[in-house]
Amino acid sequence: MAITLLLQARGKMTAERLADILGVSVRTVYRDMNSLSLAHVPVSMDHGPGGGYFLPDDSVVGPIAFTGEEALALALGRSVVGDSSLFGGAERLQQALIKLEAALPEEYRRDVRVARERILVDSSAWHRRPEAPRLLDSIRQAVWEGRRITILYPRSERPGSDLRPVDPYGLVYKAGIWYLVAYCHLRRDFRIFHLSRIEAQETLGDPITPRPDFNLAGYWEEARQRFEEQTAPVTVTLRITADGLSGHEGEWTVLETDPAGRTTVLVSLESIDAAVAYVLSFGPNATVLGPPDVLHGVAEAARELYQLYSRSTAEI
Domains of the chain, each with CATH number or no CATH:
2-52 (1.10.10), 68-118 (no CATH), 136-230 (2.30.30), 232-314 (3.30.70)
State yes or no: pLDDT of 56 exceeds 80: yes
The more confident residue out of 75 and 8 is: 8
Q: Is the C-alpha dihedral spanning 184, 190, 191, 195 positive or negative?
A: positive
Confidence band of 133 (pLDDT split at 50, 70, 90)? confident
For the chain, percent of residues with pLDDT exceeding 90: 25
Whole-angstrom Cα distance, residue 73 to residue 83?
Answer: 16
Q: Is this model's pTM higher than 0.75 or not? A: no
Q: 238-251 pLDDT, tens per residue?
A: 999 988 888 776 67
What is the structure's pLDDT at 227? Answer: 85
State yes or no: pLDDT of 87 exceeds 60: no
Q: Find the range with the poorest average confidence among 28-37, 225-234, 288-297.
A: 225-234
What is the structure's pLDDT at 49? Answer: 81
Angle at which helix 106-118 crosses helix 68-84, to 10 degrees, equals 40
Mean pLDDT of the chain: 81
Q: Tell me, what DSSP letter sits at residue 210?
A: -
Phi, psi of 84 (to 5 degrees): -75, -20
Mean pLDDT along residues 4-13:
83
Confidence band of 21 (pLDDT split at 50, 70, 90)? confident
| Strand residues in 185-272 grouped as ranges (E) | 189-194, 200-207, 234-240, 252-257, 263-269
Q: Could you give the 3-state DSSP secondary structure of residue 11? A: coil
The more confident residue out of 19 and 61 is: 19
What is the structure's pLDDT at 295? Answer: 92
